[in-house]
Structure 1
Amino acid sequence: MTADEWAVRLAGGGRIAEPVAIVVAHADDETLFAGSLLGRADDALLIHVTDSAPRDMTDARRLGFATRVDYAAARAIEVDAALVALAARPRRIGHGIADQDAVRRIAAIADRLVDELAGVALVATHAYEGGHPDHDAVACAVRLAVDRLDPPPALVEFPSYHLRGDERIWAEFWPDAAHPEHVRPLNAAEAARIEAALAAHASQAGVFEDWRPRVERWRAAPDHDFAAPPPPGACLYDRFGWAITGDRWRQHAAAAIASVRGTRGRGGR
């Protein structure tokens, strides 16, 4: 089954019996962007690449945590509760990388994923869209891993968020005529489960505020050039004052691609 055929199938809303993997950057990404899939997949592997706690303690202190480890532990407990709300029982793996550090570990993440993704029929992960450096790092690492597998699983992506003008756009793809999206409204039961799962991610209520997923969007992952700016052009996280900027992200990504493939060049096939 091709990646586009898988995207059509995911948008169809039926149960998925084949082994699938959902690879996300942070706790809550699984609920915000793949919650319905997790509830419909009978043989799912859920991989969180980061521990969801930045080295910068600003967020942790604001939420009352004394250490980064305490904040990461609380985020992990929130995932436990969210999966119960989603009626999802995936196998789970955590890479434990600090939030905002994933781009510095792309090659190592890809190496791990080669083993972890072996035998799955489908991998669903973030789009390359410049919304969060960890989302983009996961997209790059997954592509590097999938391209080393024989046979390779189908690679499908979901949108997280990106910058459009001066606005953060949630869960919409930057258009790509060669890779059509397949859209499905969530039914009332799915929306209610996701609402309950997001309530479990209580520490992040200020991040997604009133936004709630109301549709699923899936498409075959394009052959992204991770050494170039993301399709929207600008990176949302350049506005946050973080140590990692879009320019630095692309430098790290290009070096990782070179180390994995032995040559500098495209992040796709």
Structure 2
Amino acid sequence: MDPRITALLRCFNVPPGQGDPPSTLVIAAHPDDETIGVGGMFPRLDGALTVLHVTDGAPRHRRQWGRQEYATWDDYARQRLHEVECALRVAGVDPSVCRRMEVMDSEVSLNMVPVTRRLMEILDDLRPEVVITHPYEGGHTDHDATAFAVRAACTLLARDGAPAPAITEFTSYHNEGGDKVVNRFLPFDGAPETEVVLAAEEKDMKRRMYDCFYTQGGVLRDMPVRVERFRPAPRYDFTQAPHAGRLRYERYPLGIRGKHWRALAADAMELLELNRRW
């Protein structure tokens, strides 16, 4: 395992304030993904944490909004930002650690090349030692496209001889076996998992962080707070489905089908001159 990831996981297994965390950039597709995946560890990363959202959480189609009382797309986007700032404050983190790329929610898959190139610039500017981000699991097209872009950006930086962070993954959700599975990874050989059991006060904090996401109550009620799981990012083949059967995002009436998503990934790989596995 990369020693930078080892140092990160060591900090996750000692009380807050007793570790020496590596500089860490959490790259999340949407406001709330960072809280679901790694929110319980934020106090341990205080002073070493930056959070980047690829989207602002406001889809183009109004019926995809978590609440309908907002008059405009801008109003809904501002609410999503307010929610994540609230959650960071609950964790004792200054909201100024947040950055946003402001890609349209649910459209990251249509922008994998520009998102990758922008991430290269951000990573080259911030120089984090570790990135924590989504796995490739077919749960949400934006999650998978963010996983793609992070790995592509790091691969291209390393190929250019520039410093590249070690990539760690947090859990989200997927559809293995036909049912929604939350807070667990799809199995992947050679990617050992670390499970961090949250203390009582950390579980309470994470529940209060969830409470900040007024528009996302329907999603977050399924998300447990007892443990958080992490693993080094494996080498994916983004031209293959992450698992057999129907992907989670194929259950929704709007959006991209799995075959289309993989064709977009293959096109992006060709434009970025990437091999099949990286």
TM-score by length of 2: 0.89
Distance 1:212 1:34 in 2: 12
Counterpart of 1:86 (choices 82, 91, 95) is 91
| Structure 1 residues 22 and 16: CA distance shift in structure 2, 3 A | farther
Percent of paired sites with the same residue: 34
Q: Secondary structure at the match of 2:175?
A: strand
Tell me how far apart the structure 1 counterparts of residues 234 and 4 of structure 2 sit (CA, whole Å).
10
> Residue 50 of structure 1 corresponds to which residue in structure 2?
55
Please, what is the CA RMSD of the aligned residues? 1.9
What SS does the aligned partner of 1:71 have? Answer: helix
- Deviation of 1:124 (Å): 0.5
Q: Which residue of 2 aligns with 1:17?
A: 21
**Residue number in structure 1 paired with 2:254:** 242
Query: Which residue of 2 is the match for residue 37 of structure 1?
Result: 41
Q: Give the CA deviation at 1:79.
A: 0.8
- Alignment of 1:191 with 2:203, yes or no, is yes
- The answer as to 2:129 corresponding to 1:121 is yes
Residues 118-140 of structure 1, C-alpha deviation per residue, up to 9 Å, x if partnerless? 32110000000000000000000
Distance of 1:51 and 1:229 partners within structure 2? 27
Shift of 1:260: 1.2
What is the Cα deviation at residue 62 of structure 1?
Answer: 4.6
Measure the CA separation in 1 of the matches of 2:122 and 2:233: 19
**Structure 2, unaligned runs of 5 or more:** none
What SS is found at the alignment partner of 1:165? Answer: helix
**Aligned partners of 2:177 and 2:245 also within 8 Å:** no
What is the TM-score normalised by the length of structure 1? Answer: 0.92
Query: Is this contact kept in 1: 2:178–2:245, CA < 8 A?
Result: no
- 2:263 paired with 1:251: yes
Offset, 1:66: 2.1
Cα distance in structure 2, aligned partners of 1:258 and 1:58: 34
Q: Is 2:108–2:142's contact at 8 Å kept on the other side of the alignment?
A: yes
Residue 91 of structure 2 corresponds to residue 71 of structure 1: no
Q: Quote the Cα distance in structure 2 between the aligned partners of 1:64 and 1:192.
A: 29
Contact persistence 2:7–2:22 (CA under 8 A): no
**Contact kept? 1:121, 1:154, Cα under 8 Å:** yes
Task: Tell me the CA shift for residue 153 of structure 1.
Answer: 1.1
Measure the CA separation in 1 of the matches of 2:11 and 2:195: 9
**CA contact under 8 A between 1:47 and 1:92: conserved in structure 2?**
yes
Paired residues, what number? 266
